[in-house]
């Protein structure tokens, strides 16, 4: 486990929208370099940058045309190498986005693979052996190649699936996962990883990490075997490199060698019940919504088995949002967001803050761009200040990659820096708190102290710290049982000293009362 992950707080940057330094209306690498002090001062010590590689951008860069070349619109490879160096000087690690399951249909491997005559790349992708036979249960395309066959898609039409084989094979055109052509795909992936690691990157967020071997078993053991092999390479040659998976199944992902796995807004996930409760008939009952009448148990029932089952293998990553997810500001106001970030930044694992969430940027209802569809509204340019284009770009507003929040009260970093109680300043305090107390970091223990169905507050312990959160708009109390006072070394705490709070609280004998929308952290002392 790379040591730096233990105290990592990530900041996700969507490069299109962070900072434009050459006035073409789209963000660039030099813009990220310019804003590294901002990231550091926020308290974030790691970055995940969405794909920066050469691409036709039919899926915002998740359709890679050249894995080893920076897209000219963002700069050059030399700029990216400089970003690694500058980030490191400020104590910031950098993860790139690795897309292992598919390429762009314009990738040179695919152009070769489409050819009728056999060549090195014929089996780099998944093809049937006849133009007339498709692939049941999977999306595919026929009629577009000189080659006699249909090819499988991994996501959009522009993203043919790379060939890592089929575990359960039903047709003779399907390769076994250990066939030479599948090993060649895996080795090509390792070569890409080595290329960027050798140039100074610190690891990868891995796109659709579970999508490699098709017709895998329910444990995804064949896909897992590929990642274990890759992890062996990392442990041997790049022990400080980290890999974080988009798998959303920590039991599988962490056993397969990932250091952390995202807890995403997938159907049925406990994470949704906290702030994106869009599946409950009868309204939004998110726990973090002040009038949601939420229920922390809906989260814990899903999260606790995941946490208990994986805490020795790696980390679960909570996100404030990501480039695929509606921004939390869609349904929560600033005060609710403060409490929400308080929870995410004090849970175990490695947290990720999506750019702009620290100031509560809005989700905008805007037309799709680069295959974003409903995701586009979450990807708008960062709002730095009150100057032209909110300081994102000096270009004319008409050519901005995406429009900005037109509201009079659009949040900006400049405004929030001036207000001590702003979401930005509270987020900074919360991150600083996490850095200050090892107990709050990735490895610190996590115990539920008070959690009752449809009741507030939620009280939990992280090592020698006792935390209570009341996101509802009403006052709420909890009785602190004996258990709350037993320290990890089995001594009994006699003193509770508040070390941080948002809103108001009162502790009398064994009763803890929090006003609506409050949060408190106590240090437990023997
Ligand atoms: C997941 C990425 O987060 C998303 O943005 C992308 O469209 C798909 N994978 C396909 O690569």
Spacing, Cα 62 to ligand 1 middle (Å): 6
At a CB cut-off of 8 Å and minimum separation 6, what does 493 contact? 464, 485, 486, 487, 524, 525, 526
Q: Which atom of ligand 1 is nearest to the CA of 375?
A: 5
Q: Residue 279 above 80 pLDDT?
A: no
- Closest atom, ligand 1, to C-alpha of 156: 10
pLDDT at 223 over 80: yes
pLDDT of res. 280: 77
Tell me the pLDDT band of 255, cut-offs 50, 70 and 90. Answer: very high
C-beta of 324 in contact with ligand 1 (< 6 A): yes
Q: What is the mean pLDDT of residues 111-133?
A: 98
H/E stretch holding 212 reads none
At 471 the pLDDT is: 98
Protein residue with its CA nearest to atom 4 in ligand 1:
324
Model pLDDT for residues 37-83, shown as the tens digit of each residue = 999 999 999 999 999 999 999 999 999 999 999 999 999 999 999 99
Ligand 1 mutation pick, 14, 100, 207, max ligand atoms within 8 A of CB: 207
Query: Does pLDDT of 316 surpass 90?
Result: yes
Residue 334 pLDDT > 80, yes or no? yes
Q: Which of 115, 16, 120 is nearest to 62 (CA)?
A: 16
pLDDT at 282 over 90: no
Ligand 1 binding pocket mutation candidate from 101, 244, 324, 352 (most atoms within 8 A of CB)? 324
Cβ atoms 449, 457 nearer than 8 A: no
pLDDT tier for residue 488 given thresholds of 50, 70 and 90: confident
In total, the chain counts a number of residues equal to 526
Exposure b/e, 453-474, CB count within 10 A at least 16 = b: eeebbbbbbbbbbbbbbbbbee
User: Of all atoms in ligand 1, which is nearest to the CA of residue 371?
Assistant: 7
Distance 376 CA to ligand 1 centre (A): 13
Report all structural domains of the chain as residue ranges with CATH numbers, in order of start: 3-102+184-436 (3.20.20.80), 103-163 (3.90.400.10), 445-525 (2.60.40.1180)
Label residue 306 by pLDDT band (50, 70, 90). Answer: very high
155 lines ligand 1 (CB under 6 A): yes
**Alpha carbon distance 171, 153 (integer Å):** 17
Find out whether the beta carbon of 354 lies less than 6 Å from any atom of ligand 1: no
pLDDT for 354 beyond 90: yes
Cα 12 from Cα 32, distance rounded (Å)? 11
The pLDDT of 179-201, averaged and rounded, is 98
Residue 267, pLDDT above cutoff 90 = no
Q: Is the pLDDT of residue 126 over 90?
A: yes
Query: From ligand 1's centre to the CA of 48, what distance in Å?
Result: 14
* 8 Å CB contact between 400 and 392: yes
Biggest CA pair distance of the chain: 81
Residue with CA closest to ligand 1 atom 5: 324
pLDDT-derived band at 483 (thresholds 50, 70, 90) equals confident
Establish whether residue 53 lines the binding site of ligand 1, counting it when its CB lies within 6 angstroms of any ligand atom.
no
140-141 and 93-98 strand pairing: unpaired
Please classify residue 34 by burial: count the beta carbons closer than 10 Å to its beta carbon, then call 0-12 exposed, 13-18 middle and 19+ buried. Answer: middle
Average pLDDT, integer, range 12-39 = 98
Nearest-CA residue for ligand 1 atom 2 is 207
- Ligand 1 pocket residue status of 112, Cβ below 6 Å: no
Whether 59 lines ligand 1, by a CB cut-off of 6 Å, is: yes
| Confidence band of 526 (pLDDT split at 50, 70, 90) | confident
103 pLDDT more than 90: yes
62 CB near ligand 1 (under 6 Å): yes
Average pLDDT for 226-248: 98
65: its two tokens: 């045309």
Range 471-485 average pLDDT:
94
The predicted model gives 440-454 an average pLDDT of 97
CB-ligand 1 contact for 156 (6 Å cutoff):
no
Provide mean pLDDT across the span 412-434.
98
Atom of ligand 1 nearest to the CA of 62: 11
Cα of 486 from ligand 1 centre, angstroms: 44
If you measure from the C-alpha of residue 140 to the centroid of ligand 1, how many angstroms do you get, rounded to a whole number? 18
Question: Which pLDDT value is given to residue 390?
Answer: 98
Residue 497 has pLDDT above 80, yes or no: yes
Q: Among the residues of 358-447, which ranges form H helices?
A: 413-418, 423-436
């Amino acid at each position: 486990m790379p040591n730096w992950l233990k105290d990592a707080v990530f900041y996700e940057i969507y490069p299109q929208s962070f900072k434009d330094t050459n006035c073409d209306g789209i963000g660039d690498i030099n813009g990220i370099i310019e804003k590294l002090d901002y990231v550091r001062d926020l308290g974030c010590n790691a970055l995940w940058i969405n794909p920066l590689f050469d691409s036709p951008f039919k899926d915002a860069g998740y359709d890679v045309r050249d894995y080893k070349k920076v897209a000219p619109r963002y700069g050059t490879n030399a700029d990216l190498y400089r970003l690694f160096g500058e980030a490191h000087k400020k104590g910031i690690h950098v993860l790139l986005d690795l897309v292992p399951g598919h390429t762009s249909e314009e990738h040179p491997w695919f152009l070769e693979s489409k050819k009728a005559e056999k060549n090195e790349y014929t089996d780099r992708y998944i093809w049937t052996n006849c133009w007339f036979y498709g692939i049941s249960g999977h999306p595919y395309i026929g009629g577009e190649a000189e080659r006699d066959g249909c090819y499988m898609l991994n996501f959009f039409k522009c993203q043919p699936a790379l060939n890592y084989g089929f575990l359960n094979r039903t047709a003779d055109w399907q390769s076994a996962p250990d066939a030479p052509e599948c090993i060649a795909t895996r080795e090509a992936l390792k070569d890409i990883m080595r290329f960027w690691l050798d140039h100074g990157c610190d690891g990868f967020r891995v796109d659709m990490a579970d999508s490699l071997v098709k017709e895998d078993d329910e444990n995804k053991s064949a896909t897992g075997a590929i990642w274990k092999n890759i992890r062996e390479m990392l442990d041997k040659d790049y022990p400080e490199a980290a890999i974080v998976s988009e798998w959303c199944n920590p039991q599988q992902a962490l056993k397969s060698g990932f250091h952390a796995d995202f807890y995403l807004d997938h159907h049925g996930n406990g994470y949704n019940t906290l702030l994106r409760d869009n599946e409950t008939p009868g309204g939004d009952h998110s726990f973090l919504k002040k009038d949601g009448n939420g229920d922390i148990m809906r989260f814990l029932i899903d999260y606790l088995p995941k946490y208990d089952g994986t805490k020795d293998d790696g980390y679960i990553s909570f996100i404030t949002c990501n480039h695929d997810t509606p921004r939390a500001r869609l349904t929560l106001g600033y005060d609710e967001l403060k409490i929400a970030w308080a929870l995410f930044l004090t849970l175990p694992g490695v947290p990720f803050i999506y750019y702009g969430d620290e100031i509560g940027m809005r989700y905008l209802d805007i037309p799709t761009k680069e295959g974003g569809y409903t995701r586009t509204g979450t990807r708008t340019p960062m709002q730095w200040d009150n100057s032209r284009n909110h300081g994102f770009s000096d270009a004319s507003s008409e050519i901005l990659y995406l429009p900005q929040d037109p509201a009079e009260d659009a949040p900006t970093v400049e405004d929030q820096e001036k207000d001590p109680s702003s979401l930005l300043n509270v987020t900074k305090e919360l991150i600083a708190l996490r850095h200050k107390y090892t107990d709050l970091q990735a490895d610190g223990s996590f115990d539920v102290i008070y959690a009752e169905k449809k009741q507030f507050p939620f009280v939990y312990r992280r090592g020698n710290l006792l935390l209570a959160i009341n996101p509802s708009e009403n006052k709420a109390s909890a009785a602190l049982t004996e258990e709350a006072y037993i320290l990890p070394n089995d001594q009994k705490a006699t003193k509770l000293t508040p070390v941080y709070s948002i809103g108001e609280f009162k502790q009398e004998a064994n009763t803890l009362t929090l006003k609506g929308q409050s949060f408190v952290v106590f240090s437990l002392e023997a």
